[in-house]
């Protein structure tokens, strides 16, 4: 991600629908190396500032430090490529400045645990509710092609959400280990839905309270933690689970 400031926003609104067609033309000409299929951008609360989520770094092993170093270089090159593209084609960006890039390349998925339960794409899209649910999500399946262009998007029906069970945080054959965040037990497709930060925060809160109950009750296995009691504490704190 990156941000640009000092943009002529009135001019931007006039040309914003022209950005993607122009981007596609430059891709065909070889002027854009970024394999992403479109330019994704957002307004911010700061006048004249836009936030861009439009880089894509492919063929990276996120467990390999050399690959991650290459990803850092490639990501920043793509940012500069995008800034040059916008300035080259659109007058509203003529005086714009790059003011921020992400601190590091964002990794959407790496290793996942094999847990007591593995969340699936069907669980997500059907809006399955678990008795041991510790977090909710209504975010879509959102798979960014790790090998090139294209994004798979599958929306949940309007008003539908699914829950994430406590068992997805417990690795198989481990009695006293909890895992939280985007690395819990799930399929590739399901992970593309709950990996977003708000949901990961909720999973972390649920796992944290589960760990506290494990210690407080003096049990020997996390599977002995009462999910009903865990959910009651979460709900008392205002959590939706």
H or E segment at 4? strand 2-5
pLDDT of res. 226: 96
Q: Which domain holds residue 144?
A: 121-236
* One domain for residues 95 and 151: no
* One domain for residues 161 and 87: no
Residue 136 maps to a domain: yes
Domain count, the chain: 2
> Are the C-beta atoms of 120 and 45 separated by less than 8 Å?
no
pLDDT of res. 147: 87
* One domain for residues 90 and 148: no
Q: Is the pTM of this model over 0.95?
A: no
* One domain for residues 173 and 215: yes
Rounded (5°) CA angle 137-141-144: 130
Residue 241 maps to a domain: no
* One domain for residues 132 and 97: no
Residue 17 maps to a domain: yes
* One domain for residues 129 and 227: yes
Residue whose tokens read 């770094």: 57
* One domain for residues 132 and 216: yes
* One domain for residues 35 and 75: yes
Q: Examine the fold and report which residue of 51, 72, 101 is the final residue of a domain before the chain moves on.
A: 101
pLDDT in tens, 176-187: 999 999 999 999
Q: Examine the fold and report which residue of 48, 69, 101 is the final residue of a domain before the chain moves on.
A: 101
Residue 229 maps to a domain: yes
Long-range contacts of 65-70 (CB under 8 A, 24+ apart): 68/105
**Plot region of 61 (φ>0 → left; ψ -120 to 50 → alpha; else → beta):** beta
* One domain for residues 7 and 66: yes
pLDDT of res. 126: 97
Tokens coding 41:
């951008």
* One domain for residues 85 and 185: no
* One domain for residues 228 and 143: yes
Among residues 89, 105, 76, 75, the alpha carbon closest in space to that of 31 is found at: 89
Q: Report, as ranges of residue numbers, the positions in the chain whose pLDDT lies below 70.
A: none
* One domain for residues 69 and 164: no
Residue 106 maps to a domain: no
> Are the C-beta atoms of 241 and 134 separated by less than 8 Å?
yes
Handedness of CA 111, 116, 119, 120 (dihedral sign): positive
Q: At what angle do helices 19-28 and 65-89 cross, to 10 degrees?
A: 120
Residue 116 maps to a domain: no
CA-CA distance, 219 to 206, in Å (whole number)?
Answer: 18
Residue 172 maps to a domain: yes
How many angstroms separate the first and last alpha carbons of the chain?
Answer: 30
């Amino acid at each position: 991600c990156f941000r640009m400031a000092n943009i002529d926003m009135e001019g931007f609104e006039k040309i914003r629908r022209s950005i993607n067609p122009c981007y596609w033309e430059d891709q065909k000409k070889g002027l854009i190396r970024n394999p992403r299929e479109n330019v994704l951008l957002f307004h911010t609360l700061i006048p004249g500032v836009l936030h861009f989520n439009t880089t894509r770094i492919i063929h990276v092993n996120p467990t390999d430090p050399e690959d991650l170093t290459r990803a850092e270089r490639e990501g920043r090159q793509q940012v500069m490529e995008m800034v040059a593209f916008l300035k080259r084609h659109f007058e509203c960006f003529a005086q714009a400045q790059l003011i921020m890039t992400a601190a590091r390349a964002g990794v959407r998925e790496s290793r996942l645990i094999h847990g007591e339960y593995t969340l699936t794409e069907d669980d997500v899209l059907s809006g399955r509710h678990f008795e041991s649910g510790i977090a909710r999500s209504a975010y879509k399946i959102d798979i960014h092609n790790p090998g090139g262009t294209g994004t798979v998007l599958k929306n949940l029906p309007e008003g539908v959400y699914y829950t994430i069970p406590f068992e997805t945080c417990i690795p198989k054959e481990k009695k006293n280990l909890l895992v939280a965040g985007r690395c819990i037990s799930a399929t590739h497709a399901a992970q593309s839905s709950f990996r977003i930060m708000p949901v990961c925060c909720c999973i972390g809160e649920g796992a944290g309270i589960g760990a506290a109950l494990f210690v407080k009750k003096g049990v020997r296995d996390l599977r002995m933690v009462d999910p009903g009691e865990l959910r009651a504490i979460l709900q008392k704190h205002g959590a939706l689970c």
